[in-house]
Amino acid sequence: MKSKVYYSKAISPEALIKVYEALGVELTGKVAVKVSTGEKGAEGYLKASLIEPLVKKLNGTIVECNTAYNGARNEAAEHLEVAKAHGFDFAPIDIMDADGDLKIPVKNGKHLEYDLIGKNFANYDSILNLAHGKGHMMGGFGANLKNQSIGIASRNGKAYIHSCGQTEDPDACWHAKYEQIEFIESMAEAAKAVADYCAENNKKILYITVMNAISTSCDCDSNQDDPVMADLGIVGSTDPVANDQAFLDLIWNSKDPGKDKLIERITSREGEKITAYAEKIGLGSTDYELVML
């Protein structure tokens, strides 16, 4: 059976809540809302004014993990200050690897033996993977799969994924040698590890991607470039593979000439191949039904 992906062309706090409610799963207990709070200097991150009503409806906590690169968010104290400066202090903020990480298994991975996620992830009963759809300098694009792999990984875990399983050292990982497709597949394996951990520990998880301010670079880039195409809307699903595939298809099928720059960024990094590999390892399906809201 095809996965359902719910689609709103409108982007507003009300539309975001409508997509969440369409998923038909209530996030209960202690709810983590995983967003990218944005590197200092970046502009494209999801704005507090957009997500605040939904986060408050869920009584959620904004969760993040420290970056592997040396910037304004590689240490918890400064990371927290950047998140506050970007307006996310309307809710509690948890830098989940501030006190270390948690090792979880990667099942049948080609590249990763395990995943290292923020230690505090274990404290939550439900998770909203709330991604900003955009390009990415290393991964081609970022949406739910990236938000669940690199995003939930601890600083050392990010290094482990970025090096395709060669090192947990954030300084050494950038010197690791690998083929680009190995990095793309490593992200999928880490995302699958988080999904498996949630399933085994009775943690609910939902996936929403807001496709606005779509640039070729990520919110982690302090010199993030300007948007290259018009906003596409919001997609939501219980299936992260279907949701990422819908984002890609909306780009490819767009009549906006600016899509060419984004497609070049994605394909030059083999980013579009992540969904097929994620499907192959059992994370979800690239076969979906788009349900208009």
What pLDDT digit, counting tens, does each position of 4-29 carry? 999 999 999 999 999 999 999 999 99
Average pLDDT over residues 130-138: 96
Structural domain boundaries in the chain: 3-103+120-142+193-292
Q: Which two tokens stand for residue 79?
A: 């990371």
What is the model's pTM?
0.97
Q: pLDDT of 149-174, one tens digit each? A: 999 999 999 999 999 999 999 999 99
Is the pLDDT score of 215 beyond 80? yes
pLDDT band at 225; cut points 50, 70, 90? confident
pLDDT(258) > 80:
yes
Average pLDDT, the chain: 96
pLDDT digits (tens, 9 = 90+) for 72-98: 898 989 999 999 999 999 999 999 999
271 contacts 247 by C-beta, under 8 angstroms:
no
**100: which residues sit within 8 A by CB, 6+ positions away?**
119, 154
